[in-house]
Amino acid sequence: MKAKISKSYMILISLLTAVAAAVSISGCGNQFSSVAETTTQSGTTQAATSAETTQAASTAAQTKRLAESDITIKDTISNSEDGAHAITADGEEASYSNILVTKTGEADGDEADFYGENAAIFATNGGTLNLSEMVVKTDGKHANAVFSYGEGTIVNISDSYINTTGNCSGGLMTTGGGTMNAANLTIETSGNSSAAIRSDRGGGTVNVNGGYYSTSGTGSPVIYSTADITVSDAEMVSTASQGVVVEGKNSVTLNNVTLTADNNKKNSDKSSYYQAVMIYQSMSGDAAQGLSGFTMNGGSLVNKNGDVFFVNNTATEINLSDASITNEGDGVFLRAAAAGWGKEGSNGGQVTLNAEKQTINGDMLVDSVSTLNLYLKSGSNFTGAINPDGAEGSVYVEVEKGSTWTLTADSYISSLTCDADSINLNGHKLYVDGKEYTEGTASQGEAIEIKVSTSSGGHEAPPDGGGAPGGNKPEGNPPAKPD
């Protein structure tokens, strides 16, 4: 069976070398974003001054940014039918290059978000699509540009330009266990709920290497992850939403990436804060519950508004290594707190933050239903306060020899491990389990147990807690997403 397309234009090229990069998507119906009124907190994060991190940031975005005019077009494939595709690979392998793909027409919700209806380019049922030097443009609601659905399905795309303008129209979309590998792309989206790199129910694996990825719509982070997504040596910019959102038992890894996030428009009334990176569990059933992850190795993160990190209703491990992190907003470095998702009283953020060769500037706030284990390793330096307004959630701080914590206000934690010269009170007081710490003394404490929920919880989820596991669409209608 040949791969199907909406017109007769099809150019077969030799099989592309597997691309070592990919991207992921965000569920259009998820109400995840932050609020119109930001609560001001002390401890605004300043730029890291390390020469090493500055150099890493400067090299992150050197990959050429492609424009539509940079690509030679030999043929055009168009589709304007509601729900249909311009290019489809169903269980087969096909290759395309130097083609302009245009898609109009619309679709509704879950059929598009979960199963790829109305995507311009669609691979399913274990098919493989190899794409190079493509221009893909969509203008319609739920018109994702490039979609990989189902286990065994692989999309390899390189040296291409993607532009979407409709709401709920991501650049790269991966669901149901599919794989997306992308290299040297330029993706620009302008619709609401239209992440450049998206995933939804069932997740998958996304690898992205190089390129430029930007979003300007409300509720449109550059990355929305219900999958395992790795981005390397790329530039990412959001001008209305978070830079990165991770939902449920999933992960995002950034290697030498330049990320600028300006979260300034409300997409939900469930949260009272803006942030650059949000890690949460919506309880919609689109992402299994469990330990999530965010890793940043080198590169830079500039937050234009609010907090740098916000963790809610989930357990997560944040790993930072030699990254330049700047908060130009009026929020804090880390906020672990309850919001409108999950069950009241048990919907805080459970955080393990590992810092290696890392400079951290800004306060950390941990509310009464949240926990934090902070590990400062390999010459890391933290300048800021923890819960400066008084004791709330459980907090353990471990400062490895050669690392330091300099207080900027009184701080309240539960347990502390440090050498005698690790803590600089800087004229302030540190209370450990209610007792005032004496500067110049060593301390030995115990970490807080992080409780990881693995139940499906909330909205009815598929049997595996994360969507259809295979390449075949399940029978019946998918459950609706909550408001």
The model's pLDDT over 285-311, given as tens digits with 9 standing for 90+, comes to: 777 788 899 999 999 999 999 999 999
Given a cut of 60, is residue 136 above it in pLDDT? yes
For the ranges 258-267, 427-436, 468-477, the lowest mean pLDDT is seen at 468-477
For the ranges 106-110, 173-177, 256-260, 424-428, the lowest mean pLDDT is seen at 106-110
Cα dihedral 340, 341, 346, 351 sign:
negative
Given a cut of 80, is residue 50 above it in pLDDT? no
Q: What is the mean pLDDT of residues 182-191?
A: 98
- Can you give the pLDDT at residue 440? 97
Given a cut of 70, is residue 425 above it in pLDDT? yes
Indicate the pairing of strand 430-432 with strand 435-436: antiparallel
- Can you give the pLDDT at residue 288? 78
Q: How far apart are the first and last CA of the chain?
A: 41
- Can you give the pLDDT at residue 455? 53
- Can you give the pLDDT at residue 63? 57
pTM of the shown model: 0.85
Q: How many Å apart are CA 198 and CA 25, to the nearest integer?
A: 1
Structural contact between residues 411 and 436, judged by C-beta atoms closer than 8 angstroms = no
- Can you give the pLDDT at residue 28? 67
Given a cut of 50, is residue 123 above it in pLDDT? yes
Any bridge partners for residue 355, and if so which? Answer: 320, 376
Given a cut of 90, is residue 117 above it in pLDDT? yes
Any bridge partners for residue 121, and if so which? Answer: 87, 146
Q: Return the amino acid letter for 252.
A: V
Given a cut of 50, is residue 185 above it in pLDDT? yes
| Length reported for the chain | 483
Mean residue pLDDT of the chain comes to 85
- The string of pLDDT tens digits covering residues 321-340 is 999 999 999 999 999 999 88
CA distances from 483 to 110, 116, 284, 425, 442 (A): 14, 22, 9, 46, 50
Q: Which residues contact 286 (CB under 8 A, 6 or more apart)?
A: 27, 30, 200, 201, 226, 247, 248, 461, 466, 467, 481
Q: How many Å apart are CA 481 and CA 483, to the nearest integer?
A: 7
Domain ranges of the chain: 12-436
Given a cut of 90, is residue 140 above it in pLDDT? yes
Given a cut of 90, is residue 173 above it in pLDDT? yes
- The string of pLDDT tens digits covering residues 347-365 is 899 999 999 999 999 999 9
Among 204, 189, 179, 200, smallest CA distance to 25 is for: 200
- Can you give the pLDDT at residue 266? 84
Structure tokens at 23: 């991207």
Other residues' Cβ atoms within 10 Å of the Cβ of residue 81: 12
pLDDT band at 469 (very low <50, low <70, confident <90, very high): very low
| Percent of all residues in the chain with a pLDDT value above 70, rounded to a whole number | 81
- Can you give the pLDDT at residue 244? 98
Residue 188 CA to its chain's centroid (Å)? 16
- Can you give the pLDDT at residue 62? 53
- Can you give the pLDDT at residue 286? 78
Structural contact between residues 144 and 170, judged by C-beta atoms closer than 8 angstroms = yes
Q: How many Å apart are CA 311 and CA 289, to the nearest integer?
A: 14
- Can you give the pLDDT at residue 430? 98
pLDDT band at 367 (very low <50, low <70, confident <90, very high): very high
Percent helix, strand, coil in the chain, to 5, is 5, 40, 55
